[in-house]
Amino acid sequence: MPERNPVVIGVDSSTQSTKAAVVDSATGALLAVGRAPHTVTGTDGARESDPGQWWSALRDAVGRGLRDAGVPARAVVAIAVAGQQHGLVVLDGDGTPLRPALLWNDVRSAPQAVALTDALGGPRPWLARTGSVPVAAMTAAKWAWLRAHEPATAAAAARIRLPHDFLTERLTGEAVTDPGDASGTCWYSTAAHAYDAGLLDLLGIDPGLLPAVAPTGATRVGTLAPSAARALGLPGHVAVAAGTGDNMAAAVGLGLGAHGLLDHPVVSLGTSGTVYAATRTRPAAPGLAGFAATDATYLPLGCTLNCTLAVDRFARLLGLDREQAVPGGGVVVLPYLDGERTPDLPHAGGLLTGLRHDTASGAVLGAAYEGAAFSVLRVLDGLLDVCTPDPAAVADRPLRLIGGGARGRFWRDTVRRLSGRPLLVPAVTEPVAYGAAALAAGALTGADPVAPAVAWGAGGGAVLPPVRRDTETWERIAAVLEGAEPLLARGPGTPGHAHGPCRRSPRP
């Protein structure tokens, strides 16, 4: 039997599960994807997970991926982790979690986000330094919440990590992150390319509690520690890349960056809805997160909290299958079941209006799709304004549609109808894990992290032609949102603070 090409493993440690992509390092062929679930707990805005389960899930997913691929452990030469962004992991001196991790979609820290913004005199100083304004999702706000509500735990913290940092440290024994994931903390300066000492002082964080920042996510930061090699059943010489955040890894997996595509917008439909594009221009715009990419470019990103899970909840409430939806007609749903990040309405609940005696249940479900897609596409308008001097010049450029929603017919139809743009659905179904595999390959060669993905043909796929834009539905949803925003800001029984909601007219 001929010797198999060496393989690399890309790990996607997301909110709900871990996926481990086993990839042929020479051809980029995706040989298998191992999976293992996570548990998320919390009510009333709390969202937490035990970091220990992430490590167990990584171990299980890697083992299943190798078994499904029929690949012997000796064929593995490198591994990299991409993790859910923003999560706050606090550890003792031995690396043991002091409490469950606060996840990105935990909105209890909304008051702390407002207070931090005000502490610097408003959004502009934050944009100038970090490229982003604190919102409940950002790690800085979560750390401020921990100090306010669990001061003993904060005082006992000997290490502060992001989810991907935690796992990379388990792999190598080295405390390291990358600019991409670090840029989602709101204590890393995308202007200075380093931790911001003034912001750390504001937050009461000793810099010694934080990991070092590697130049890129593809930087080789070590090899498997003996304990990790035993746990994973892998050779000790396996190289470990710095890794990055999940959105940055997906951009790599789609071939976006300095050695691939620039200014090609991506729409991701998952637990959250996100839009982003790679650019050489450092973004600093309200309503967007001005992230660093993992290849020394930038990745401006907009995010909504409520996407596929919110629509699935409506389907369950209505007793319908996901694909039993029809266009909403006069019904409007704002599916802010977990509060909302964009617009910044952390205390909001869902809103349903426009019901008639003859309204079909399928139309209510269709309106939930429309409300979620509207929110994401509305953020896309702001992204294009930042990335492109003339957004109209790229209006016919296909949107790259990824995430679980990209595989749903009604999701695709709704995005096409509300955007009026062609869609490109990439052939790679796990771009985060695939991008992490490209980072692992880059750790072996020292190449630009996007270069392996481009060589593998990342980002290609089927193009769905545009359909006529449904401006009537767009304008109806926009009008409901504008009228309901004061109520949504307060939330059910909660005195609210609507911090910088973005009111945009639909793009013609």
Mean pLDDT of 358-384: 95
Query: Residues 54, 58, 60, 64: is their CA dihedral positive or negative?
Result: positive
Contact call for residues 142 and 149 (beta carbons, < 8 A): no
Q: Is the pLDDT of residue 139 over 50?
A: yes
Q: Is the pLDDT of residue 343 over 80?
A: yes
Nearest partner of 109 among 150, 138, 152, judged by Cα: 138
Question: Cα–Cα distance between 290 and 276 in angstroms, integer?
Answer: 10
Domains 86-161+179-213 and 262-427+470-490 share a fold: yes
Q: Is the pLDDT of residue 505 over 70?
A: no
Contact call for residues 45 and 137 (beta carbons, < 8 A): no
Q: How confident is the model at residue 490 (pLDDT cuts 50, 70, 90)?
A: confident
Return phi, psi of residue 356, to 5°. -130, 170
The domain made up of 262-427+470-490 has a fold known as: Nucleotidyltransferase; domain 5 (3.30.420)
Mean pLDDT of 370-379: 96
Q: How confident is the model at residue 164 (pLDDT cuts 50, 70, 90)?
A: very high
Return phi, psi of residue 261, to 5°. -95, 140
The vertex-475 CA angle with 470 and 477, nearest 5°, equals 100
The model's pLDDT over 241-283, given as tens digits with 9 standing for 90+, comes to 999 999 999 999 999 987 777 778 899 998 889 999 888 888 8
The question of whether 165 is a catalytic residue gets the answer no
E runs forming strands in 374-432: 399-402, 423-426
Question: Cα–Cα distance between 43 and 48 in angstroms, integer?
Answer: 10
E runs forming strands in 200-326: 212-213, 220-223, 239-241, 244-245, 266-269, 273-276, 289-292, 298-304
Phi-psi region of 420 (alpha: psi -120 to 50; beta: other; left: phi over 0): left
Residues 6+ apart with CB under 8 A from 500: 123, 133, 286, 287, 344
Question: Cα–Cα distance between 253 and 336 in angstroms, integer?
Answer: 30
Question: Cα–Cα distance between 149 and 90 in angstroms, integer?
Answer: 14
Mean pLDDT (the chain) is 91
Q: Please give the torsion angle defined by the CA atoms of residues 419, 421, 424 and 429, in that order, rounded to the nearest 10 degrees.
A: 0
Residue 481 carries which side chain, given as an amino acid letter?
L
Q: How confident is the model at residue 499 (pLDDT cuts 50, 70, 90)?
A: very low
Question: Cα–Cα distance between 506 and 508 in angstroms, integer?
Answer: 6
Considering the candidates 246, 381, 413, 448, report the single residue annotated as catalytic.
Answer: 246
Q: Is the pLDDT of residue 388 over 90?
A: no
Return phi, psi of residue 493, to 5°. 75, 10
Q: How confident is the model at residue 344 (pLDDT cuts 50, 70, 90)?
A: confident
At 404 the three-state DSSP class reads helix
Q: Tell which wins on pLDDT, 338 or 441.
A: 441
Lowest mean pLDDT among 39-48, 63-72, 159-168, 396-405: 396-405
DSSP letters for 380-393: HHHHHHHH-S-GGG
Question: Cα–Cα distance between 332 and 481 in angstroms, integer?
Answer: 9
| HEC readout, 166-202 | HHHHHHHCCCEECHHHHCCCCCEECCCCEECHHHHHH
* Predicted local confidence at residue 492, as pLDDT: 63
Pairing of strands 399-402, 423-426: parallel
The model's pLDDT over 111-136, given as tens digits with 9 standing for 90+, comes to 999 999 999 999 999 999 999 999 99
Distance of CA 212 to the CA centre of its chain: 22
Which one-letter DSSP state was computed for residue 15? S
Mean pLDDT of 418-441: 94
At 21 the three-state DSSP class reads strand
The model's pLDDT over 453-472, given as tens digits with 9 standing for 90+, comes to 888 988 888 899 999 999 99
Q: Is the pLDDT of residue 296 over 90?
A: no
**In the chain, domain spans:** 86-161+179-213, 262-427+470-490
Contact call for residues 190 and 282 (beta carbons, < 8 A): yes
Contact call for residues 170 and 62 (beta carbons, < 8 A): no
The domain made up of 86-161+179-213 has a fold known as: Nucleotidyltransferase; domain 5 (3.30.420)
Question: What are 459's two structure tokens?
Answer: 């980002």
Helix (H) or strand (E) holding 444, with range, is helix 431-445
Residue 395 carries which side chain, given as an amino acid letter?
A
